[in-house]
A = this chain, B = another copy of it.
Amino acid sequence: MPMSRLKTTHDVFSAIGEPKRRLLIEQLVIKEMTVNELVDIFDWSQPTVSKHLSVLKKVKIVSERKEGRFRYYQIQPDQLRPIQEWMHQFDKYWGSTMDQLDNYLNQIQVKGKNSEQ
């Protein structure tokens, strides 16, 4: 009997495998949005956006907040940690220690600025 395939959309890694879903995530990192706001930005059909959001909801990358007729979708960055952690195995290949320290210090500066808002 043929082995049944893993349902790819039930996994954080495959959820971000889809380019449209990455674009949606990039928008929701900026701020929470409704489906139609996303439709306006990307000019995809509304059910298409809804379907991708429901995949992201299933793997908990986004959550839903109801407000009247509207549903606001917000990012849940914690759910993406497995990806970040998986990527650590390649850290040693990326740039010199000095480059990394440099990146790190720049990162702290940016963070400082953001948290002042």
| Interface residues contributed by chain A, number (CB under 8 Å) | 37
A14 nearest CB across to chain B (Å): 4
The reply to whether the CB of A70 lies closer than 8 angstroms to some CB of chain B is no
A68 nearest CB across to chain B (Å): 28
Please state if B78 and A84 are interface contacts (CB–CB under 8 Å).
Answer: no
In the assembled complex, which residues on chain B have CB atoms less than 8 Å from the CB atom of A42? none
Residues of A within 8 A of B (CB): 6, 8, 11, 13-19, 22, 26, 29, 77-78, 80-81, 83-84, 86-94, 97, 100-101, 104, 107-108, 110-111, 114
Please state if B107 and A91 are interface contacts (CB–CB under 8 Å).
Answer: yes
A31 nearest CB across to chain B (Å): 13
In the assembled complex, which residues on chain B have CB atoms less than 8 Å from the CB atom of A29? 89-90
Of B81, B84, B92, B94, which one neighbours A81 at CB under 8 angstroms?
B94
In the assembled complex, which residues on chain B have CB atoms less than 8 Å from the CB atom of A78? 93
A92 nearest CB across to chain B (Å): 5
